[in-house]
Structure 1
Amino acid sequence: MNTAVAETDYAVLIASDTVRIERLLPGPIERVWAHLTDSDLRRKWLASGDMQPQAGTSFELVWHNDELTDPPGARPSGFESEHRMQSRITEFDPPRKLAFTWNGSSGGDVSIELEPKGDAVLLTLIHRQLRNRDGMLMVGAGWHMHLDILVARLTGGKPAPFWDGWSRLRTEYGRRIPA
């Protein structure tokens, strides 16, 4: 299994409280959009949770990271087998943009934009209002690993064990994001 990571796969700090991460995915854009908005597809790479297709509606994301890959890898201490988070959609513009609050309104916000690039789709994810460096390390490693799994799902590849990848990436982000 190849664990090499391209430099362009890493999240980058674009403001003191904001990270951006991009991935070029196989299209069409409607297929990628479905993986963002359909609970059954989203649970295979991120978290389940039904969402109504309009701004202003609330939804719950439910993570089962142990089920994302086989094997799941070694879950770090402090993490449970399930995690739930209340969110609210702030923008819903199919198939181009999905934005939502992260952990209600107290944990910042996430925007995901899709842009066709020939037969591919550029996904740009921006996570704003991260409160501290530890949050940036967690979010950077988390989004990075979840998007790696999305790439594998869309290309028919086998993703690396989630928790092992997350732990490795958390350490790497510790070197990349200034103290």
Structure 2
Amino acid sequence: MTELLEMDTYGRVAEPATLVIERKLPGPPSRIWSYLIDADKRKLWLADGVMEAKAGAPFELVWRNEELTDPPGMRPEGFSEEMRMKSRVLEVQKDKRLVFTWQETGEVCIDLRPEGDEVLMTVTHRRISDRANLLMVGAGWHMHLDILAARLRGKTPEPFWDGWLRLKADYDKRIPR
């Protein structure tokens, strides 16, 4: 009997300043795509903000992490109820690939690949400034993707901040100093 191995849901440092994290999600790709592009769906797992699915289009991501889960968990010191970030769409391939800027220096590429009834979502976050930000970004993407997976499967995600703090400690052990 062949044993199925579960996917490692932790991100990995693929090259200096680049984090890659993957998730298998219930498909089809068009369903996952709607959770990337549609602000009303994206705010359920990541951040609000109207995005025109067109290369060159500016948009703003608006994080309200305490609205993602009920209860939200205890917000760590140094974080506010809302965070905003201006971005720009760099590339769009409907149902396959979305690339956008992360602040002025970073870049996020989200690729969707069908695998049977599921979709492999690969998030590649490039040009992360330093290890401290790698820990925050790794824990952030991980927790946000856990919430997306739970929502798509009709399950209740763990409290956002509790999960984020746990994951940040995990990434501190996993990412070399």
Give the structure-2-normalised TM-score.
0.96
Partner of 2:127: 129
- Select 1:173's aligned residue among 156, 166, 171: 171
Partner of 1:152: 150
Whether 1:19 aligns to 2:16 is no
Return the offset for 1:25: 0.2
Partner of 1:110: 108
Partner of 1:84: 84
Counterparts of 1:126 and 1:12, CA distance in 2: 10
Partner of 2:3: none
Deviations 1:82-140 (A, max 9, x none): 0000000001110100000001x22x100000000011000000000011000100000
Counterparts of 2:157 and 2:93, CA distance in 1: 29
Partner of 1:98: 98
What amino acid does structure 2 have at the position aligned with 1:21?
I
- Specify every segment of 5 or more residues in structure 2 that has no aligned partner in the other structure, as ranges: 1-5
Counterparts of 1:79 and 1:27, CA distance in 2: 33
What amino acid does structure 2 have at the position aligned with 1:76?
P
Counterparts of 1:151 and 1:109, CA distance in 2: 23
Q: Secondary structure at the match of 2:114?
A: strand
Deviations 1:52-72 (A, max 9, x none): 110011000000000000000
Partner of 2:68: 68
Partner of 1:10: 10
- Specify every segment of 5 or more residues in structure 1 that has no aligned partner in the other structure, as ranges: 1-5
RMSD: 0.8
Moved over 3 A (4+): none
Counterparts of 1:60 and 1:28, CA distance in 2: 27
Give the structure-1-normalised TM-score.
0.95
Count of residues paired in the alignment: 172
Counterparts of 1:93 and 1:7, CA distance in 2: 26
Return the offset for 1:7: 6.5
